[in-house]
Amino acid sequence: MSNNGNGNSNGNGHYHALAEHLATQELSALNAKAEIENAVRLILQNVGEDPHRDGLLRTPHRVAKMYDELLEGYHQDVETIINGAMFEVEYGDGEMVMVANIDYNSMCEHHMLPFVGKVHVAYIPRNKVVGLSKIPRIVDMFARRLQVQERLTNEIADALDEHLDPVGVMVVVEGQHSCAALRGVKKHGVNMVTTAKRGEFRTNPALRDEFYRLMERSG
């Protein structure tokens, strides 16, 4: 009987600790949201607007909610996304898996303006492949943070290299940056391209050529 009592006590203790942790997280999120709303009201006041007029009354709430969605990548991690969806395969030497034309939306860390584009990923499996949906989700995780395109490209490549342990990984990211279109040089339609190569893709130009051929066909 005493063992059962201890078991129930331990179970209840774990439940209460989990409930407290979740409540603390929720309170922290609410406090963060309130601080963002207050900051937006200050911005509106300092540009000469009245944050209490009808059209702007709920704008701070909307902006805080928007940032929560656009920057949700800070609350995600690669292991949780993959969630064990790794599969043993027999793959021939040098044979490539490519996932092309992955749309993404991100936020430039310099001006907090959006940049958008496409990501193209290829890897050469060693003994295992990852579920098809996982690569776009990993792209989204890193994109939904304050970013620069160069770092976004390398973070995607490093994550795949670490978790898949492939023979090689290559990532190409195309981006159109609203900070270049709306301010500064004010040029629309400029396409920035960044690349990251790991493993065999660094040393084997034939693999890189095959990547670009497949990328062109998928366009």
What is the set of active-site residues? 108-111, 149, 177, 179
Sign of the torsion formed by the C-alpha atoms of 42, 43, 49 and 53: negative
Question: Rounded to whole angstroms, how far apart are CA atoms 218 and 101?
Answer: 8
Question: Rounded to whole angstroms, how far apart are CA atoms 106 and 121?
Answer: 17
Say which amino acid occupies 98. M
113's tokens = 């303006």
Please list, in sequence order, all residues whose beta carbon lies within 8 angstroms of the beta carbon of residue 78, skipping any fewer than 6 positions away. 138, 141, 159, 162, 163
Q: How far is CA 116 from the centre of its chain?
A: 12
Please list, in sequence order, all residues whose beta carbon lies within 8 angstroms of the beta carbon of residue 70, skipping any fewer than 6 positions away. 105, 107, 114, 144
- Note whether 64 and 36 are within 8 A (CB): yes
51's tokens = 């944050």
33's tokens = 């949201």
The DSSP 8-state label assigned to residue 114 in this structure reads E
